[in-house]
Amino acid sequence: MRCFRVTCAVMALAFAIAIFLPARALAQTADQDVNTDCTCDCQQTSTSEVRRFNIAVGSPTACTAAQCGVTEPANCPSVSLTTATYHDCTCLCCGQGICNTDGATAYPFMAGSPEKCTPDACAGEFYQCPNSPNYGASTAATTSFAAATYADCTCGCKRSSSDALVYKMFFAGSPDKCTADQCSAKYYACPDSGSHNADGEVVATYFGVVPDNATAAAMPSASSGGVSVNSKSTELPTYAAALIAILVLGLVGTIVGIVVHRRVQKERGFRWVKFDENDGDKNPGADAGERV
């Protein structure tokens, strides 16, 4: 019985690990404040080093070398010496000894889909992003951090007609979650509707993949602040599914084995009782003779 309890406890622990490991990985995907969508690699001259700048342009088509020159005229003076790349994934990372001094730094890259915008992908793209973030370190000096946010919705906002547009990007997951109201709810730079903000402007533009009706119905809503959720992130990875199957089969096998063992013991016990009773029947006079 003790062995059975120990076996069940071990299986329960392994089952919990299989369930909560994916949840921890999901929690690492933070809905951070993303405000750039275009990477400019610029050179002052053909022999100078390449310098990288991240700017906000509002759409993939607006991410051009010419726009880099407009936004960063001193650093990107030549269109021919400038390369512009749109990015949809922003990594927020810092390593041990850096988090407590300089804080986390944003490192964007083009992932192409939410499934490819993960802390592990960030670690593969940037050496500044740790492979094994240590969120729960007891001391600040040993803490490391890595988070990833996939952005498929761009908010173009200004509080008055005289202000310049401010761009904010977040993960919506579907066009119906990329709205002006959602932008206003998430960002102070995006005024809400009403006569007091009649001079303001909020434009939401979705640049992600438009899901079909079945996918859209099954896709969970994007949270206004917290964990970025998508349809794939809620699926168990293959290793977890296999581990759970093995644990379930092992638990069922253990229970069946115990039931069979108990049944065999019970049947053998009945035979021994019957054998003892026969022994008494074979010598009926033995006890009687002793009593006389």
Whether 173 and 155 have beta carbons less than 8 Å apart is answered as no
Domain-embedded: residue 159: yes
Instruction: Please count the residues of the chain.
Output: 292
In tens, the pLDDT along 74-107 reads 999 999 999 999 999 999 999 888 888 888 899 9
Tell me the residue range of the domain where 22 lies.
1-29+237-277
Task: Mark which of 61, 86, 111 sits at the end of a domain.
Answer: 86
> Cα 178 from chain centroid?
20
Going by C-alpha positions, the residue among 96, 95, 154 that lies closest to residue 126 is 95
Q: pLDDT above 90 covers what percent of the chain?
A: 43
**d(Cα 191, Cα 194) in Å, to the nearest integer?**
9
Angle at 147 between CA 143 and CA 150, to 5 degrees: 175
Average pLDDT, the chain: 75
Q: SS3 for 234-289, per residue?
A: CCCCHHHHHHHHHHHHHHHHHHHHHHHHHHHHHHHHHHHHHHHHHHHHHCHHHHHH
Tokens 């509707």 belong to 193
Q: Are residues 155 and 143 in the same domain?
A: no
Q: How far apart are CA 130 and CA 112, in angstroms?
A: 22
282 located within any domain: no
Of 35-49, 189-203, 234-248, the poorest mean pLDDT is in: 234-248
Q: How many domains does the chain have?
A: 4
When comparing pLDDT for 229 and 195, which is higher? 195
Residue 233: its pLDDT value, please? 40
Q: 46 and 69: one domain?
A: yes
Q: Residue 220: which of 237, 210, 232, 204 has the closest Cα?
A: 232
Residue 194 in domain: yes
Same domain assignment for residues 156 and 216: yes
pTM over 0.75: no
Tell me what pLDDT residue 227 has: 34
Q: Is residue 231 assigned to a domain?
A: no
For the stretch 7-16, pLDDT in tens is 544 454 444 4
CB 92 within 8 A of CB 106: yes
pLDDT of residue 70: 95
Residue 285 lies in a domain: no
In a domain, 227, yes or no: no
Query: 86 has which bridge partners?
Result: 38
